[in-house]
Structure 1
């Protein structure tokens, strides 16, 4: 999958979603999927191969990609996913599903590769999820046990996944409280009416007695 994605780049940092054709990934088509970013750190399946359907025991198209993970791993996965879109960069995850009734231990790897949408923004991703072991009863959900992110340009610095990542290796600016200002007030005319004078009153709360 990675070799196919690299072949689509043709000197570009990120290939287009329109460049991806099923026949180009026919050998891994069952394990492939395409994501659409719908919010910071969130994406849904636009297309998914049969292996994902077998893992979840249902059609996954339209479902959030985090649905294949256990709740404790979703926060970290969201950070990694957002870094793929924002940097942009590639990510490879290691996964593990523990054994339970009718569900043997299952390990897997997920690859995330950024793509441009028809509008030219990086809001799509080509992915691959492969597992080793018997699937057993679905749905199977995984713990994320590790991740590796890599820049698109050789020698560049990868963006560490985390809240507030800004992309292109930049650090987020420190938060500062907003500054509120009042527009200058014209002086009250000597012949102002009582209603105009009352409009200038301000309520100031002081300490209670």
Structure 2
């Protein structure tokens, strides 16, 4: 999707040699045509992840203003905890990720979406926010007219250095990505990175 490719390229450009850019480096004026599809998530005192900002197109998709709402509230009931842990893992390990999801409307329509999440750093160095985008993979006349009720994850992957130029590396379903304490999110993500680099080397 052009939207996710463009915002990833922008994020990749401003981070330079760092694993994630400072949140102060994000300039909305640099990507004005993408703003309606962008969001920023932040960690909160309650230990969850919520919307700090959500573009008008995203709010229109769900039929409400998402500012201040928990990110996990957009997803089906069985995926709330896994989605939140995965978003936290993207920040903790500074590893951008791309998700393919199906959105279901309040009256049974379905549409496919790409969702990208990229970590942002605070001045003290910790990644505590995410820059992201939600974009439908194909036009549908009912989108933004009939609200989405929830999203359901189809697949997820880590992003190579140049998104769109290398074959995607499939990851396991999200409930396996954030599997148990014995494996740990960090170990799983590092193993996926190794697999990705191996694919690119060939």
**Compared CA separation, residues 128 and 112, structure 1 to 2 (3 A):** same
TM-score by length of 2: 0.71
Pick the structure with more helix per residue.
2
SS at match of 1:52: helix
Q: Residues of 2 paired with 1:62 and 1:118: CA distance?
A: 22
Residues 109-156 of structure 1: CA deviation (Å, up to 9, x unaligned): 10000010233211111000002323242243111111112477xxxx
Q: Which residue is equivalent to 1:140?
A: 149
Q: Which residue is equivalent to 2:88?
A: 82
Q: Which residue is equivalent to 2:20?
A: 14
**Compared CA separation, residues 40 and 93, structure 1 to 2 (3 A):** farther
Q: How does 1:1-209 map to 2 (within 5 A)?
A: 1-38=7-44, 42-98=48-104, 101=107, 103-131=108-136, 132=138, 133=140, 134-135=142-143, 136-150=145-159, 161-162=177-178, 163-164=180-181, 165=184, 167=186
Q: Which runs of 5+ in 1 are unaligned?
A: 153-157, 172-209
Aligned residues between the structures: 165
RMSD between superposed Cα atoms in Å: 2.8
Is the Cα–Cα contact under 8 Å of residues 49 and 71 in structure 2 kept in the other structure?
A: yes
SS at match of 1:62: coil
Q: Residues of 1 paired with 2:78 and 2:15: CA distance?
A: 35
**Compared CA separation, residues 42 and 148, structure 1 to 2 (3 A):** farther
SS at match of 2:17: coil
**Compared CA separation, residues 48 and 25, structure 1 to 2 (3 A):** same
Q: Which runs of 5+ in 2 are unaligned?
A: 1-6, 162-170, 192-202
SS at match of 1:118: coil
Q: Residues of 2 paired with 1:58 and 1:144: CA distance?
A: 21
Residues 79-127 of structure 1: CA deviation (Å, up to 9, x unaligned): 32122012120111111023552x5212111000001023321111100
Residues 13-68 of structure 1: CA deviation (Å, up to 9, x unaligned): 11000100111121211100111023798311111101111012111111111111
